[in-house]
Structure 1
Amino acid sequence: MRIAVFSRGPGLYSTRRIVESARTRGHEVTVVDHSLCSPYADGGKSSILYNGQALEAPEVAIPRIGANITTRGVALIRQLDVMGVPHVLSADALLLARDKMSCLQRLTQAGIGVPRTVLCFSTHEVRKVAKRLGPFPVVVKLLESTHGVGVALAHNLYQLERLAESFLQLQDRVLIQEFIRESKGRDQRAFVVGGEIVAAMERRATAGEFRANIHRGATATRIDLSEEEQALVLRVASVIGVEVAGVDLIPSMRGPLVMEVNASPGLEGIEGATEVDIAGKIIQYAESKV
Protein backbone atom coordinates (compact mmCIF):
# COMPACT_ATOMS: atom_id res chain seq x y z
CA MET A 1 0.00 0.00 0.00
CA ARG A 2 1.22 3.53 -0.78
CA ILE A 3 1.16 5.68 2.34
CA ALA A 4 1.96 9.39 2.51
CA VAL A 5 3.00 10.85 5.86
CA PHE A 6 2.52 14.60 5.70
CA SER A 7 5.16 15.97 8.07
CA ARG A 8 7.62 18.86 8.05
CA GLY A 9 10.23 16.83 9.93
CA PRO A 10 11.27 13.47 8.48
CA GLY A 11 13.87 13.22 11.24
CA LEU A 12 11.37 13.74 14.07
CA TYR A 13 10.85 10.75 16.35
CA SER A 14 7.12 10.46 15.62
CA THR A 15 7.58 10.64 11.86
CA ARG A 16 10.46 8.15 11.89
CA ARG A 17 8.49 5.68 13.99
CA ILE A 18 5.45 5.85 11.71
CA VAL A 19 7.65 5.34 8.64
CA GLU A 20 9.48 2.40 10.27
CA SER A 21 6.22 0.75 11.27
CA ALA A 22 4.74 1.18 7.80
CA ARG A 23 7.79 -0.32 6.10
CA THR A 24 7.90 -3.18 8.61
CA ARG A 25 4.38 -4.06 7.50
CA GLY A 26 5.45 -4.03 3.85
CA HIS A 27 4.06 -0.67 2.78
CA GLU A 28 5.60 1.91 0.47
CA VAL A 29 5.77 5.11 2.49
CA THR A 30 6.79 8.65 1.55
CA VAL A 31 7.27 11.64 3.85
CA VAL A 32 5.81 14.77 2.27
CA ASP A 33 6.55 18.26 3.63
CA HIS A 34 3.08 19.79 3.75
CA SER A 35 4.55 23.31 3.85
CA LEU A 36 5.36 22.72 0.15
CA CYS A 37 1.92 21.35 -0.77
CA SER A 38 -0.58 23.38 -2.79
CA PRO A 39 -4.15 22.16 -3.38
CA TYR A 40 -4.90 22.30 -7.12
CA ALA A 41 -8.29 22.35 -8.89
CA ASP A 42 -8.85 22.26 -12.63
CA GLY A 43 -12.41 21.60 -13.66
CA GLY A 44 -13.21 18.03 -12.71
CA LYS A 45 -9.60 17.30 -11.79
CA SER A 46 -8.11 17.75 -8.34
CA SER A 47 -4.59 17.12 -7.18
CA ILE A 48 -1.88 18.29 -4.83
CA LEU A 49 1.13 20.14 -6.17
CA TYR A 50 4.28 19.31 -4.23
CA ASN A 51 6.91 21.97 -4.72
CA GLY A 52 5.10 22.84 -7.96
CA GLN A 53 4.87 19.28 -9.33
CA ALA A 54 1.84 16.97 -9.27
CA LEU A 55 2.04 14.58 -6.32
CA GLU A 56 1.07 10.96 -6.96
CA ALA A 57 -2.02 10.34 -4.88
CA PRO A 58 -1.37 7.90 -2.03
CA GLU A 59 -3.79 5.14 -1.11
CA VAL A 60 -4.00 6.52 2.43
CA ALA A 61 -2.55 9.57 4.19
CA ILE A 62 -1.33 10.21 7.73
CA PRO A 63 -1.30 13.98 8.32
CA ARG A 64 1.09 15.22 11.05
CA ILE A 65 0.23 18.91 10.92
CA GLY A 66 2.51 21.32 12.78
CA ALA A 67 0.93 23.83 15.16
CA ASN A 68 2.30 26.79 13.21
CA ILE A 69 0.90 25.64 9.88
CA THR A 70 -2.67 24.68 10.76
CA THR A 71 -4.37 26.68 8.01
CA ARG A 72 -2.32 25.08 5.24
CA GLY A 73 -2.79 21.67 6.86
CA VAL A 74 -6.56 22.08 6.90
CA ALA A 75 -6.54 23.04 3.21
CA LEU A 76 -4.42 19.97 2.44
CA ILE A 77 -6.73 17.60 4.32
CA ARG A 78 -9.76 19.04 2.56
CA GLN A 79 -8.00 18.49 -0.76
CA LEU A 80 -7.46 14.85 0.20
CA ASP A 81 -11.21 14.62 0.80
CA VAL A 82 -11.89 16.08 -2.66
CA MET A 83 -9.48 13.57 -4.20
CA GLY A 84 -11.09 10.67 -2.33
CA VAL A 85 -7.91 9.81 -0.43
CA PRO A 86 -8.68 8.34 3.02
CA HIS A 87 -6.77 9.74 5.99
CA VAL A 88 -6.69 9.66 9.78
CA LEU A 89 -7.35 13.32 10.66
CA SER A 90 -10.42 15.34 9.78
CA ALA A 91 -9.97 19.01 8.91
CA ASP A 92 -12.81 20.09 11.20
CA ALA A 93 -11.40 18.11 14.14
CA LEU A 94 -7.96 19.64 13.61
CA LEU A 95 -9.38 23.16 13.58
CA LEU A 96 -11.46 22.50 16.69
CA ALA A 97 -8.63 20.91 18.66
CA ARG A 98 -6.14 23.65 17.74
CA ASP A 99 -8.44 26.45 18.94
CA LYS A 100 -8.34 25.83 22.69
CA MET A 101 -11.41 27.91 23.51
CA SER A 102 -13.53 26.42 20.73
CA CYS A 103 -12.53 22.98 21.96
CA LEU A 104 -13.49 23.78 25.57
CA GLN A 105 -16.77 25.31 24.38
CA ARG A 106 -17.69 22.14 22.48
CA LEU A 107 -16.79 19.97 25.49
CA THR A 108 -18.80 22.19 27.84
CA GLN A 109 -21.77 21.97 25.48
CA ALA A 110 -21.52 18.18 25.82
CA GLY A 111 -21.52 18.42 29.61
CA ILE A 112 -17.85 17.47 29.98
CA GLY A 113 -15.90 19.01 32.85
CA VAL A 114 -13.14 21.51 32.00
CA PRO A 115 -11.21 24.06 34.10
CA ARG A 116 -12.92 27.45 34.47
CA THR A 117 -11.70 29.47 31.49
CA VAL A 118 -12.34 32.96 30.15
CA LEU A 119 -11.51 34.21 26.65
CA CYS A 120 -10.37 37.85 26.70
CA PHE A 121 -9.55 40.38 23.98
CA SER A 122 -7.93 43.19 26.01
CA THR A 123 -5.96 43.77 29.19
CA HIS A 124 -8.90 45.75 30.55
CA GLU A 125 -11.11 42.71 30.09
CA VAL A 126 -8.48 40.48 31.71
CA ARG A 127 -8.40 42.75 34.76
CA LYS A 128 -12.19 42.58 35.12
CA VAL A 129 -12.63 38.83 34.77
CA ALA A 130 -9.64 37.57 36.79
CA LYS A 131 -11.56 37.47 40.08
CA ARG A 132 -14.10 35.01 38.66
CA LEU A 133 -11.41 32.33 38.42
CA GLY A 134 -10.67 32.26 42.13
CA PRO A 135 -7.57 33.36 44.02
CA PHE A 136 -4.22 33.74 42.31
CA PRO A 137 -2.26 32.20 40.71
CA VAL A 138 -4.11 31.86 37.40
CA VAL A 139 -2.93 30.38 34.11
CA VAL A 140 -2.48 32.56 31.02
CA LYS A 141 -2.52 30.85 27.62
CA LEU A 142 -2.23 31.67 23.97
CA LEU A 143 -5.17 30.33 22.00
CA GLU A 144 -2.84 28.07 20.02
CA SER A 145 0.22 26.71 21.80
CA THR A 146 2.19 23.48 22.05
CA HIS A 147 4.82 21.86 24.28
CA GLY A 148 3.95 24.34 27.03
CA VAL A 149 5.07 27.33 24.94
CA GLY A 150 2.62 30.21 25.32
CA VAL A 151 1.47 29.05 28.77
CA ALA A 152 2.41 31.00 31.93
CA LEU A 153 1.38 31.41 35.56
CA ALA A 154 0.41 34.80 37.01
CA HIS A 155 0.72 35.12 40.78
CA ASN A 156 -0.87 38.55 41.07
CA LEU A 157 -2.80 41.12 39.09
CA TYR A 158 0.33 42.95 37.96
CA GLN A 159 1.85 39.75 36.50
CA LEU A 160 -1.47 38.85 34.89
CA GLU A 161 -1.73 42.21 33.14
CA ARG A 162 1.87 42.06 31.90
CA LEU A 163 1.53 38.50 30.60
CA ALA A 164 -1.81 39.24 28.93
CA GLU A 165 -0.38 42.36 27.33
CA SER A 166 2.56 40.36 25.92
CA PHE A 167 0.35 37.54 24.63
CA LEU A 168 -2.11 39.97 23.05
CA GLN A 169 0.73 41.36 20.96
CA LEU A 170 1.10 37.88 19.43
CA GLN A 171 -2.59 37.02 19.06
CA ASP A 172 -5.77 39.03 19.35
CA ARG A 173 -7.14 36.82 22.12
CA VAL A 174 -5.84 35.27 25.32
CA LEU A 175 -7.17 32.59 27.67
CA ILE A 176 -7.26 33.04 31.44
CA GLN A 177 -7.77 29.75 33.26
CA GLU A 178 -8.06 28.57 36.84
CA PHE A 179 -4.98 26.97 38.37
CA ILE A 180 -5.72 23.46 39.67
CA ARG A 181 -3.58 23.41 42.83
CA GLU A 182 -4.49 19.89 43.87
CA SER A 183 -3.01 18.44 40.70
CA LYS A 184 0.45 19.25 42.11
CA GLY A 185 2.00 19.43 38.66
CA ARG A 186 0.49 16.15 37.48
CA ASP A 187 -1.66 15.33 34.48
CA GLN A 188 -2.60 12.31 32.41
CA ARG A 189 -2.40 11.75 28.69
CA ALA A 190 -4.44 9.07 27.01
CA PHE A 191 -3.59 8.19 23.41
CA VAL A 192 -6.60 7.33 21.26
CA VAL A 193 -6.44 5.58 17.88
CA GLY A 194 -9.65 4.87 16.02
CA GLY A 195 -11.93 4.97 19.05
CA GLU A 196 -9.61 2.85 21.21
CA ILE A 197 -7.34 3.95 24.06
CA VAL A 198 -4.02 2.33 23.17
CA ALA A 199 -1.83 3.81 25.93
CA ALA A 200 -1.93 6.17 28.90
CA MET A 201 0.70 7.87 31.02
CA GLU A 202 0.94 10.21 33.98
CA ARG A 203 3.26 13.19 33.62
CA ARG A 204 4.86 14.98 36.57
CA ALA A 205 6.34 18.45 36.28
CA THR A 206 9.84 19.15 37.56
CA ALA A 207 10.32 21.03 40.83
CA GLY A 208 9.28 24.66 40.50
CA GLU A 209 7.45 24.04 37.21
CA PHE A 210 3.66 23.78 36.83
CA ARG A 211 3.60 22.57 33.21
CA ALA A 212 3.73 18.78 32.96
CA ASN A 213 5.15 18.73 29.43
CA ILE A 214 7.84 16.21 28.48
CA HIS A 215 9.55 19.02 26.54
CA ARG A 216 9.71 20.93 29.84
CA GLY A 217 11.54 18.11 31.61
CA ALA A 218 8.49 16.35 33.07
CA THR A 219 8.80 12.66 33.89
CA ALA A 220 6.26 10.12 32.62
CA THR A 221 5.10 6.72 33.84
CA ARG A 222 2.64 4.21 32.44
CA ILE A 223 -0.75 4.11 34.14
CA ASP A 224 -4.06 2.27 33.87
CA LEU A 225 -7.00 4.64 33.61
CA SER A 226 -10.08 4.03 35.72
CA GLU A 227 -13.31 3.06 33.97
CA GLU A 228 -14.58 6.60 34.55
CA GLU A 229 -11.46 8.10 32.98
CA GLN A 230 -11.58 5.72 30.02
CA ALA A 231 -15.21 6.59 29.32
CA LEU A 232 -14.40 10.29 29.60
CA VAL A 233 -11.46 10.07 27.18
CA LEU A 234 -13.45 8.18 24.55
CA ARG A 235 -16.35 10.60 24.86
CA VAL A 236 -14.01 13.57 24.42
CA ALA A 237 -12.48 12.03 21.28
CA SER A 238 -15.97 11.40 19.89
CA VAL A 239 -17.24 14.91 20.66
CA ILE A 240 -14.22 16.62 19.06
CA GLY A 241 -14.15 14.13 16.18
CA VAL A 242 -10.48 13.19 16.48
CA GLU A 243 -9.36 9.76 15.26
CA VAL A 244 -5.72 9.82 16.40
CA ALA A 245 -5.33 12.07 19.43
CA GLY A 246 -3.85 12.77 22.81
CA VAL A 247 -6.46 13.64 25.43
CA ASP A 248 -5.05 15.41 28.48
CA LEU A 249 -6.81 15.12 31.84
CA ILE A 250 -5.95 16.89 35.08
CA PRO A 251 -7.05 15.61 38.51
CA SER A 252 -9.13 18.02 40.56
CA MET A 253 -11.42 18.13 43.59
CA ARG A 254 -14.30 18.02 41.07
CA GLY A 255 -12.99 14.85 39.40
CA PRO A 256 -10.93 14.59 36.21
CA LEU A 257 -11.11 17.68 34.00
CA VAL A 258 -10.19 17.88 30.32
CA MET A 259 -7.29 20.26 29.77
CA GLU A 260 -6.64 19.80 26.08
CA VAL A 261 -7.09 17.63 23.01
CA ASN A 262 -4.05 17.23 20.76
CA ALA A 263 -4.91 16.27 17.18
CA SER A 264 -1.30 15.61 16.19
CA PRO A 265 0.24 14.17 19.36
CA GLY A 266 3.88 13.22 19.66
CA LEU A 267 4.84 9.58 20.18
CA GLU A 268 8.23 9.78 21.85
CA GLY A 269 7.21 10.46 25.44
CA ILE A 270 4.31 8.04 25.58
CA GLU A 271 6.00 5.21 23.68
CA GLY A 272 8.99 5.55 25.99
CA ALA A 273 6.86 5.57 29.13
CA THR A 274 4.46 2.78 28.16
CA GLU A 275 6.54 0.65 25.75
CA VAL A 276 3.45 0.42 23.52
CA ASP A 277 4.00 0.37 19.74
CA ILE A 278 1.69 3.30 19.09
CA ALA A 279 3.14 3.91 15.62
CA GLY A 280 2.12 0.37 14.71
CA LYS A 281 -1.40 1.04 15.99
CA ILE A 282 -1.62 4.13 13.77
CA ILE A 283 -0.52 2.14 10.72
CA GLN A 284 -3.06 -0.59 11.46
CA TYR A 285 -5.77 2.05 11.69
CA ALA A 286 -4.62 3.66 8.42
CA GLU A 287 -4.84 0.21 6.77
CA SER A 288 -8.44 -0.12 7.94
CA LYS A 289 -9.36 3.16 6.22
CA VAL A 290 -8.58 1.80 2.73
Structure 2
Amino acid sequence: MIDLLIFAKQNEIYAVSRLRQEAKKAGLNYKIIRYEGMHLNLGKGKTDFFYKGHFLPEAKMAVFRVAGRGGAGEYFVPQRTALLELWQNRPMAIVNLKTYLRFPRLNKLGQHFYFAKYDLPFVASRNYAALDLLNPEKFKFPLIVKNRYGSGGQKVFKADSPLELRNLLLEDPVSMLIQPFLTTGFDYRVIVIGGKAIGAMKKTAPKGEFLTNVARGGTATKAALTTELKTLAEKAAKIFLTDYAGVDIMYDHKGQPYILEVNRGAQFEGFEESTGINVAGKLIEWLQHKQA
Protein backbone atom coordinates (compact mmCIF):
# COMPACT_ATOMS: atom_id res chain seq x y z
CA MET A 1 0.00 0.00 0.00
CA ILE A 2 1.18 3.52 -0.86
CA ASP A 3 1.58 5.95 2.04
CA LEU A 4 0.66 9.07 0.08
CA LEU A 5 -0.99 9.90 -3.23
CA ILE A 6 -0.56 13.43 -4.59
CA PHE A 7 -3.15 14.40 -7.21
CA ALA A 8 -2.42 17.37 -9.48
CA LYS A 9 -2.65 18.68 -13.02
CA GLN A 10 0.31 18.32 -15.38
CA ASN A 11 1.16 22.02 -15.27
CA GLU A 12 1.43 22.25 -11.47
CA ILE A 13 5.12 21.97 -10.68
CA TYR A 14 6.21 23.76 -7.50
CA ALA A 15 3.63 22.48 -5.01
CA VAL A 16 3.97 18.91 -6.25
CA SER A 17 7.77 19.07 -6.10
CA ARG A 18 7.73 20.43 -2.55
CA LEU A 19 5.19 17.89 -1.32
CA ARG A 20 7.30 15.14 -2.86
CA GLN A 21 10.42 16.47 -1.12
CA GLU A 22 8.74 16.61 2.27
CA ALA A 23 7.13 13.19 1.85
CA LYS A 24 10.53 11.71 1.06
CA LYS A 25 12.06 13.50 4.06
CA ALA A 26 9.35 12.00 6.28
CA GLY A 27 10.15 8.51 5.00
CA LEU A 28 6.86 8.09 3.14
CA ASN A 29 6.47 6.15 -0.08
CA TYR A 30 4.41 8.27 -2.43
CA LYS A 31 3.07 8.44 -5.94
CA ILE A 32 2.21 11.44 -8.09
CA ILE A 33 -1.14 11.07 -9.87
CA ARG A 34 -1.68 13.50 -12.71
CA TYR A 35 -5.39 14.01 -13.36
CA GLU A 36 -4.73 13.81 -17.10
CA GLY A 37 -3.69 10.16 -16.72
CA MET A 38 -6.82 9.00 -14.90
CA HIS A 39 -9.87 7.22 -16.22
CA LEU A 40 -12.81 5.53 -14.54
CA ASN A 41 -15.20 2.74 -15.43
CA LEU A 42 -18.75 3.03 -14.15
CA GLY A 43 -20.99 0.02 -13.78
CA LYS A 44 -23.97 -1.11 -11.74
CA GLY A 45 -22.94 -0.90 -8.09
CA LYS A 46 -19.28 -0.49 -9.00
CA THR A 47 -16.82 2.26 -9.90
CA ASP A 48 -13.20 1.52 -10.80
CA PHE A 49 -10.48 4.15 -11.05
CA PHE A 50 -7.37 3.71 -13.16
CA TYR A 51 -4.13 5.59 -13.67
CA LYS A 52 -2.23 5.08 -16.90
CA GLY A 53 -4.04 1.81 -17.52
CA HIS A 54 -3.61 0.32 -14.03
CA PHE A 55 -5.90 0.27 -11.02
CA LEU A 56 -5.39 3.31 -8.82
CA PRO A 57 -3.26 2.10 -5.89
CA GLU A 58 -4.59 1.91 -2.33
CA ALA A 59 -3.20 4.59 -0.02
CA LYS A 60 -3.22 5.77 3.59
CA MET A 61 -3.17 9.50 2.77
CA ALA A 62 -4.01 11.75 -0.16
CA VAL A 63 -3.58 15.35 -1.24
CA PHE A 64 -5.80 16.70 -3.99
CA ARG A 65 -4.42 19.83 -5.65
CA VAL A 66 -6.38 22.07 -8.05
CA ALA A 67 -8.64 20.07 -10.38
CA GLY A 68 -10.55 22.85 -12.17
CA ARG A 69 -9.54 25.54 -14.66
CA GLY A 70 -11.05 28.63 -13.09
CA GLY A 71 -13.41 30.35 -15.50
CA ALA A 72 -12.58 27.78 -18.20
CA GLY A 73 -14.62 25.04 -16.55
CA GLU A 74 -14.73 22.08 -14.21
CA TYR A 75 -11.99 20.08 -15.94
CA PHE A 76 -11.33 17.14 -13.53
CA VAL A 77 -13.63 18.24 -10.68
CA PRO A 78 -16.31 15.56 -11.38
CA GLN A 79 -13.66 12.80 -11.34
CA ARG A 80 -12.20 14.11 -8.09
CA THR A 81 -15.67 14.27 -6.52
CA ALA A 82 -16.49 10.71 -7.59
CA LEU A 83 -13.24 9.41 -6.11
CA LEU A 84 -13.80 11.26 -2.82
CA GLU A 85 -17.34 9.88 -2.61
CA LEU A 86 -15.84 6.41 -2.91
CA TRP A 87 -13.09 7.07 -0.35
CA GLN A 88 -14.91 9.17 2.24
CA ASN A 89 -15.62 6.29 4.64
CA ARG A 90 -12.21 4.68 4.35
CA PRO A 91 -9.62 5.02 7.17
CA MET A 92 -7.63 7.55 5.14
CA ALA A 93 -6.33 11.04 5.81
CA ILE A 94 -7.40 13.23 2.89
CA VAL A 95 -6.68 16.94 2.69
CA ASN A 96 -9.90 18.96 2.17
CA LEU A 97 -12.15 15.91 1.94
CA LYS A 98 -15.16 17.60 3.56
CA THR A 99 -14.92 20.86 1.63
CA TYR A 100 -14.53 19.18 -1.77
CA LEU A 101 -17.56 17.00 -1.11
CA ARG A 102 -19.69 19.86 0.22
CA PHE A 103 -18.50 22.42 -2.35
CA PRO A 104 -17.11 20.64 -5.46
CA ARG A 105 -16.50 24.07 -7.04
CA LEU A 106 -16.22 27.07 -4.75
CA ASN A 107 -16.70 30.37 -6.56
CA LYS A 108 -16.40 33.93 -5.33
CA LEU A 109 -20.13 34.65 -5.44
CA GLY A 110 -20.93 31.55 -3.41
CA GLN A 111 -18.24 32.51 -0.91
CA HIS A 112 -19.79 35.93 -0.45
CA PHE A 113 -23.12 34.37 0.49
CA TYR A 114 -21.38 32.51 3.30
CA PHE A 115 -19.34 35.53 4.41
CA ALA A 116 -22.62 37.42 4.75
CA LYS A 117 -24.31 34.51 6.55
CA TYR A 118 -21.52 34.27 9.14
CA ASP A 119 -21.07 38.04 9.47
CA LEU A 120 -17.53 38.15 8.07
CA PRO A 121 -16.32 41.34 6.35
CA PHE A 122 -16.12 41.23 2.55
CA VAL A 123 -16.17 43.66 -0.36
CA ALA A 124 -19.73 44.58 -1.34
CA SER A 125 -20.55 43.01 -4.70
CA ARG A 126 -23.17 43.21 -7.43
CA ASN A 127 -24.15 40.49 -9.87
CA TYR A 128 -26.60 40.86 -12.75
CA ALA A 129 -28.41 38.13 -14.64
CA ALA A 130 -28.66 40.28 -17.77
CA LEU A 131 -26.98 43.39 -19.13
CA ASP A 132 -30.24 45.32 -19.56
CA LEU A 133 -30.69 45.30 -15.76
CA LEU A 134 -27.55 47.38 -15.38
CA ASN A 135 -27.60 51.13 -14.80
CA PRO A 136 -23.87 51.94 -14.74
CA GLU A 137 -24.38 55.71 -14.77
CA LYS A 138 -25.32 55.45 -11.08
CA PHE A 139 -22.07 53.73 -10.12
CA LYS A 140 -19.00 55.39 -8.67
CA PHE A 141 -15.91 54.62 -10.75
CA PRO A 142 -13.40 53.04 -10.91
CA LEU A 143 -14.78 49.56 -10.27
CA ILE A 144 -13.36 46.07 -10.19
CA VAL A 145 -15.00 43.46 -12.43
CA LYS A 146 -14.03 39.83 -11.81
CA ASN A 147 -15.15 36.42 -12.97
CA ARG A 148 -16.59 34.43 -10.08
CA TYR A 149 -14.41 31.44 -11.04
CA GLY A 150 -11.22 33.33 -11.91
CA SER A 151 -7.96 32.46 -10.16
CA GLY A 152 -4.42 33.78 -9.98
CA GLY A 153 -5.54 37.26 -11.01
CA GLN A 154 -7.02 35.99 -14.27
CA LYS A 155 -10.28 37.53 -15.47
CA VAL A 156 -10.02 40.46 -13.05
CA PHE A 157 -10.45 43.88 -14.68
CA LYS A 158 -10.67 47.54 -13.77
CA ALA A 159 -13.50 49.62 -15.26
CA ASP A 160 -12.98 53.40 -15.31
CA SER A 161 -16.24 54.36 -17.04
CA PRO A 162 -19.80 53.14 -17.74
CA LEU A 163 -18.76 52.18 -21.28
CA GLU A 164 -15.85 50.06 -20.03
CA LEU A 165 -18.15 48.38 -17.52
CA ARG A 166 -20.71 47.51 -20.19
CA ASN A 167 -18.04 46.13 -22.49
CA LEU A 168 -16.63 43.91 -19.74
CA LEU A 169 -20.09 42.49 -18.99
CA LEU A 170 -21.18 42.16 -22.59
CA GLU A 171 -20.53 38.46 -23.14
CA ASP A 172 -21.41 36.89 -19.79
CA PRO A 173 -22.77 39.27 -17.13
CA VAL A 174 -24.08 36.54 -14.83
CA SER A 175 -20.53 35.18 -14.32
CA MET A 176 -19.10 38.55 -13.26
CA LEU A 177 -18.97 40.37 -9.94
CA ILE A 178 -18.84 44.17 -9.74
CA GLN A 179 -17.04 45.64 -6.73
CA PRO A 180 -15.73 49.00 -5.54
CA PHE A 181 -12.05 49.57 -6.26
CA LEU A 182 -9.88 49.49 -3.13
CA THR A 183 -6.82 51.59 -3.83
CA THR A 184 -4.33 50.41 -1.21
CA GLY A 185 -2.40 48.29 -3.74
CA PHE A 186 -1.65 45.42 -1.40
CA ASP A 187 -3.32 42.57 0.47
CA TYR A 188 -2.39 39.66 2.70
CA ARG A 189 -2.33 35.90 2.18
CA VAL A 190 -2.74 33.78 5.31
CA ILE A 191 -2.19 30.02 5.07
CA VAL A 192 -4.41 27.90 7.31
CA ILE A 193 -3.65 24.21 7.94
CA GLY A 194 -5.83 22.06 10.15
CA GLY A 195 -7.77 25.11 11.31
CA LYS A 196 -4.67 27.04 12.46
CA ALA A 197 -3.10 30.01 10.68
CA ILE A 198 0.62 29.32 10.23
CA GLY A 199 1.78 32.70 8.91
CA ALA A 200 1.09 35.64 6.62
CA MET A 201 2.64 37.31 3.60
CA LYS A 202 1.98 40.70 2.06
CA LYS A 203 1.35 40.87 -1.68
CA THR A 204 2.00 44.21 -3.35
CA ALA A 205 0.98 45.19 -6.87
CA PRO A 206 3.63 46.52 -9.29
CA LYS A 207 3.77 50.31 -9.61
CA GLY A 208 0.88 51.56 -11.71
CA GLU A 209 -0.96 48.21 -11.55
CA PHE A 210 -3.73 46.96 -9.26
CA LEU A 211 -3.34 43.16 -9.24
CA THR A 212 -1.30 41.92 -6.27
CA ASN A 213 -1.04 38.27 -7.36
CA VAL A 214 2.53 37.02 -7.41
CA ALA A 215 1.69 35.16 -10.64
CA ARG A 216 0.78 38.54 -12.19
CA GLY A 217 3.97 40.35 -11.19
CA GLY A 218 3.16 41.21 -7.57
CA THR A 219 5.86 41.04 -4.93
CA ALA A 220 5.65 38.93 -1.77
CA THR A 221 7.14 39.88 1.60
CA LYS A 222 6.80 38.40 5.05
CA ALA A 223 4.07 39.99 7.18
CA ALA A 224 3.20 39.84 10.84
CA LEU A 225 0.37 37.44 11.61
CA THR A 226 -1.75 39.86 13.60
CA THR A 227 -4.56 38.71 15.84
CA GLU A 228 -7.07 40.17 13.37
CA LEU A 229 -5.58 38.42 10.34
CA LYS A 230 -5.35 35.15 12.26
CA THR A 231 -8.93 35.32 13.53
CA LEU A 232 -10.47 36.25 10.18
CA ALA A 233 -8.50 33.66 8.24
CA GLU A 234 -9.29 30.84 10.63
CA LYS A 235 -13.00 31.71 10.69
CA ALA A 236 -13.17 31.88 6.89
CA ALA A 237 -11.33 28.58 6.48
CA LYS A 238 -13.62 26.92 9.03
CA ILE A 239 -16.93 27.87 7.43
CA PHE A 240 -15.82 26.19 4.19
CA LEU A 241 -14.68 23.03 6.03
CA THR A 242 -11.09 23.30 4.79
CA ASP A 243 -8.03 21.47 6.07
CA TYR A 244 -5.78 23.58 3.86
CA ALA A 245 -6.54 27.04 2.48
CA GLY A 246 -5.02 30.36 1.56
CA VAL A 247 -7.18 33.25 2.76
CA ASP A 248 -6.72 36.63 1.09
CA ILE A 249 -7.52 39.74 3.14
CA MET A 250 -7.32 43.39 2.08
CA TYR A 251 -7.56 46.59 4.13
CA ASP A 252 -8.97 49.92 2.97
CA HIS A 253 -7.44 53.30 3.81
CA LYS A 254 -9.46 53.43 7.02
CA GLY A 255 -8.02 50.14 8.25
CA GLN A 256 -11.20 48.14 7.63
CA PRO A 257 -10.41 44.52 6.66
CA TYR A 258 -12.18 42.65 3.87
CA ILE A 259 -11.90 38.94 3.13
CA LEU A 260 -11.36 38.62 -0.61
CA GLU A 261 -11.29 34.88 -1.08
CA VAL A 262 -10.71 31.44 0.41
CA ASN A 263 -8.49 29.46 -1.95
CA ARG A 264 -8.49 25.72 -1.22
CA GLY A 265 -5.70 25.01 -3.71
CA ALA A 266 -3.57 28.03 -2.85
CA GLN A 267 -0.13 28.05 -4.42
CA PHE A 268 2.59 28.56 -1.84
CA GLU A 269 5.87 29.19 -3.66
CA GLY A 270 5.85 32.92 -2.90
CA PHE A 271 4.66 32.21 0.64
CA GLU A 272 7.49 29.80 1.42
CA GLU A 273 10.12 32.02 -0.18
CA SER A 274 9.00 35.22 1.57
CA THR A 275 8.17 33.84 5.02
CA GLY A 276 10.57 30.92 5.35
CA ILE A 277 7.65 28.79 6.56
CA ASN A 278 7.68 25.19 5.35
CA VAL A 279 4.10 24.89 4.09
CA ALA A 280 4.61 21.53 2.38
CA GLY A 281 6.25 20.09 5.50
CA LYS A 282 3.44 21.27 7.75
CA LEU A 283 0.86 19.76 5.41
CA ILE A 284 2.66 16.39 5.46
CA GLU A 285 2.84 16.58 9.27
CA TRP A 286 -0.89 17.28 9.44
CA LEU A 287 -1.62 14.26 7.24
CA GLN A 288 0.55 11.97 9.34
CA HIS A 289 -1.09 13.16 12.56
CA LYS A 290 -4.56 12.71 11.03
CA GLN A 291 -3.77 9.23 9.77
CA ALA A 292 -2.17 8.02 13.02
| Structure 2 length-normalised TM | 0.88
CA contact (8 A) 1:14 1:268 kept: yes
What is the CA–CA distance in structure 1 between the aligned matches of 2:266 and 2:185, rounded to whole Å? 20
Which position in structure 2 is the counterpart of 1:79?
86
CA distance in 1, matches of 2:164, 2:45: 56
Residue 102 of structure 1 is matched in structure 2 by 110
| 1:232 matches 2:241 | no
* 1:108 alignment partner, SS class: helix
2:128 maps to which of 105, 120, 125:
120
Give 2:284's aligned amino acid: I
**Structure 1 gaps, min length 5:** none
- Runs ≥4 residues deviating over 6 A: none
**Helix, strand or coil for the counterpart of 1:95?**
coil
Shift of 1:174: 1.4
The letter of the residue matching 1:49 is F
Alignment of 1:191-230 (within 5 A): 191-230=191-230
Partner residue in 2 for 1:176:
178
Deviation at 1:172, TM superposition (A): 4.8
Alignment-mate amino acid for residue 285 of structure 1: W
Shift of 1:254: 6.2
Secondary structure, counterpart of 2:191 in structure 1: strand
Question: Residue 179 of structure 2 aligns to a residue in which SS?
Answer: strand
Aligned partners of 2:44, 2:93: CA distance in 1, in Å?
22
Equivalent residues of 2:7, 2:64 under 8 A apart: yes
What is the one-letter code of the residue matched to 1:235?
Answer: K
Match of residue 151 from structure 1: 156
Letter in 2 for 1:271: E
Instruction: Quote the Cα distance in structure 2 between the aligned partners of 1:83 and 1:47.
Output: 16
Residues 8-41 of structure 1, C-alpha deviation per residue, up to 9 Å, x if partnerless? 1376011100011001110011110123334556
Which moved further from structure 2: 2-11 or 104-113? 2-11
Secondary structure (helix, strand or coil) at the match of 1:145 reads coil
Alignment check: 8 A CA contact 1:13 1:268 kept: yes
- Give TM-score scaled by structure 1 length: 0.89
- The residue type paired with residue 95 of structure 1 is P
Alpha-carbon distance in structure 2 between the residues aligned to 1:151 and 1:145: 7
Relative to total residues, which structure has the larger helix share, 1 or 2? 1
Give the alignment's Cα RMSD to 1 decimal.
2.2
Going from structure 1 to structure 2, the CA distance change for 1:287 and 1:42 (only over 3 Å counts) comes to farther
Equivalent pairs counted in the alignment come to 281
Q: Secondary structure at the residue paired with 2:94? A: coil
Query: Structure 2: which amino acid aligns with 1:174?
Result: M
